Amino acid sequence: MRIPQQLSEITTNYSQHIDLWKQLILQLNKDLALVGLTEIELHTNITPKELWLGLESIFSELIHQKTTSFIHLLYRIDINENEIQGLMAHDDFLNRLTQRVIERSYQKVYWRSVYK
């Protein structure tokens, strides 16, 4: 089976790539847990739209209530400070940040699948 390299291939046809989609959500859950946000757990049966909306809501709350944990999460996912500052220059910062977090998490899933 060919593993799509781009996240967009997964999100537009996620039902055809259900295993990779579940791995992506499990990776996000793992990263959340590793920074102490164990009270947040994403369900593996959600759609891409539900994931984006859910993460935007979660990130908005974390930014305002658990800033340190949120910064640790971004560090864990490997999104650097300069990239975050670049995203903050846009009105749709939260949407762009959510996109970047999901992309970076999918990169982890992709490379793990390629080299297993």
Q: What are phi and psi of 44, to 5 degrees?
A: -75, -10
pLDDT band (50, 70, 90) for residue 105: very high
- Report d(CA 75, CA 115) in Å as an integer: 24
Model confidence pLDDT, tens digit, residues 17-51 = 899 999 999 999 999 999 998 899 999 999 999 99
Average pLDDT over every residue of 87-103: 91
Is the pLDDT score of 1 beyond 70?
no
Model confidence pLDDT, tens digit, residues 46-87 = 999 999 999 999 999 999 999 899 999 999 999 988 888 888
For residue 93, is it left (φ>0), alpha (ψ between -120 and 50) or beta? alpha
Is the pLDDT score of 2 beyond 80?
no
Average pLDDT over every residue of 82-111: 91
